[in-house]
Structure formats: C-alpha cells, structure tokens
Structure 1
C-alpha cells in the first residue's frame, strides 16, 4: 500500500508584475498556509517519505515549508522540471518513476494540470479546482509505483486552507 499526496503550491505573490511566472515567490498568506497544511497532515498521522516538486520558485518554497514542518532535509527535495506546467500524463509518468522505497510521496505542482490530474484519480471525489496549498491524497494498492496507473485507488482526503478575511 502506497500513499500519494498532490499539493498545489501556496499562494504566490504578484507584487512584481515584470517577474517571470517561474520565478514568482510566495506571498505572506502562502508562507503561513503551507506550515498550517503540513501540520494538518501531521495531526492526521500522515507521514511523508519523499517530497517531489516543480522547480518553480513558489512550488519549491511550498515543498521546503512542508519539509521543515516534517523535520526533513531540504536537500532531499526531488525537483522535476516536467512538473512545471505538467499535464495529467506527465503526473502519471512522474509517479510511475518514483523509487519503490518511498511509501508516501508528496508532489508539489501547479494548476491547471494538478486539478486535471486529481480528477482522474478518484472519480467519485471530483475537485473542480485545487485551491492554493490544497492537498488531495489517495491510498494505492501497489508495492511498485510503476503499477500506479492501473492500480486501485482509494480516496483519503481533500483539504485546503480557509481564507481568514
């Protein structure tokens, strides 16, 4: 049995209009929401063996904040370029290439691909849009990640920060 957590990057900043999309950082709310969501996972006793992220600044920073909350080494974050602007097919490919030693993996990425991907994982739990810093998790009845695509998937949770305004 494996667990896959799909996490959309936390809220990003638009304060520098000329900044390339790839280089946008997190805003203050994003920096607050990521540790909050990591704590919610820990409160549910959900462990994470591996942190896999798009190298885009906002996704990587979200992964770093989760890593810190889990007391993991930031150098262990696996950056995969294909996760920036990824299609569902790319997500499937990334998951199928994960190291089988990892039983619980968190993948940090972006919309629209992340929403499209989660909607292919648990058809009875449709998510119209993954809000920033949302977490969608499933259990998969496999021992090897290469079998992910056709494996039985069981919905575990969908959670996202509530805006305090």
Structure 2
C-alpha cells in the first residue's frame, strides 16, 4: 500500500534571546500567517493526513495546531514526540518507522537542519535548507512504515509559504 509522508518545518518563530529557552520560542506574527496559509493551501489541495506527529517545542506544536485546524483535525489528536526536538534525523526515522500500518498519510512537524537532512535522506533529492513553514510531500510505493529508509521515497512536492502566497 502507498504511504505518504508530509514533512513540515515549523513556521517563523521569535528570535532567540537569553530570556527565552530555544524550546519555548513561539511563532511570531509572520509565522502565524505562514502556518495559516499553508494549512489553507493543504486543505484546498485535498491533503488529508490521518496521523500527525510533532515536536513538542512551542513553535513546532503551534504550527501543527494551526495546520491541523485548517484540515479540520482537533489539536487533541496531535501526537508529540520529544525525540524530534534535537534528536537528529534518526529520531525522525524512528517516528516514521513506528507508525501503525493502518495509517496511510503521516504529517510530521519538526526543525531544521534535521528535517531537511531527513527529506534528502529519504528521497536522494537535494532540497537544501527547507524554508520556515515549508512542506515536502514524499511518496513511498509498496512499503510499510517500518521499511522506509534511505532513498526509498519519491519527492512529490516541495512548497514554501512564499509560493503559496504568490498563487493567491
């Protein structure tokens, strides 16, 4: 059965200062707008994930909350995975490999540089650094979640908030 992974880099967050721990940085007004625009675009494009996994860091969780809301999904169904925050690309792979087989589309919210490395690891595509709020949609043909690994996916789409806004 085909599996689809939608990787989402968190939207723009407030700058890091000595007063705010990195983990606690929130989305700024630009980030709130980016997340809403991407959620609206995903909904209009008919993207319907059946499971959502997010880093628990404030900026990633809020991005997940906004996008899932635009997709008609209650935030209470978001699954947080603490390893995604600073766990390296291997933590993203672990999160994907442990998704139950009854789900066919996973939306995973995380951070750079790991999420960009992970997208490249899965597809062999050179995405460079994923922009804040951007998404990469990766398809896997005839694989179980547990079988997903290096270069097993096909990059279907990469979209940034700027591209979505230009199309409006």
The match for 2:103 is: 102
The match for 2:83 is: 82
- Conserved 8 A contact 2:121-2:151: no
Q: d(CA) in 1 for partners of 2:116 and 2:50?
A: 23
Q: d(CA) in 2 for partners of 1:102 and 1:49?
A: 6
Q: d(CA) in 1 for partners of 2:92 and 2:64?
A: 17
Q: d(CA) in 1 for partners of 2:150 and 2:132?
A: 28
- Conserved 8 A contact 1:6-1:108: yes
TM-score by length of 1: 0.92
- Residue 126 of structure 1, CA deviation: 1.0
Q: Secondary structure at the match of 2:123?
A: coil
Q: d(CA) in 1 for partners of 2:135 and 2:150?
A: 22
Q: d(CA) in 1 for partners of 2:41 and 2:87?
A: 26
- Residue 17 of structure 1, CA deviation: 4.3
Q: d(CA) in 2 for partners of 1:89 and 1:47?
A: 25
- Residue 37 of structure 1, CA deviation: 0.8
- Residue 110 of structure 1, CA deviation: 0.4
Matched, 1:67 2:68: yes
Q: d(CA) in 2 for partners of 1:17 and 1:152?
A: 41
Q: d(CA) in 2 for partners of 1:160 and 1:86?
A: 24
The match for 1:148 is: 148
- Residue 71 of structure 1, CA deviation: 1.1
Long gaps (5+) in structure 2: none
Q: Deviations over 1:79-121 (max 9, x none)?
A: 0000001312111111000121211111000011111111112
> Aligned in 2, Cα 1:62/1:140: closer, same or farther, shift over 3 Å?
same
- Conserved 8 A contact 2:121-2:150: no
Q: d(CA) in 2 for partners of 1:95 and 1:59?
A: 17
**Structure 1 range deviating more: 9-18 or 75-84:** 9-18
Matched, 1:50 2:51: yes
- Residue 144 of structure 1, CA deviation: 2.4
TM-score by length of 2: 0.90
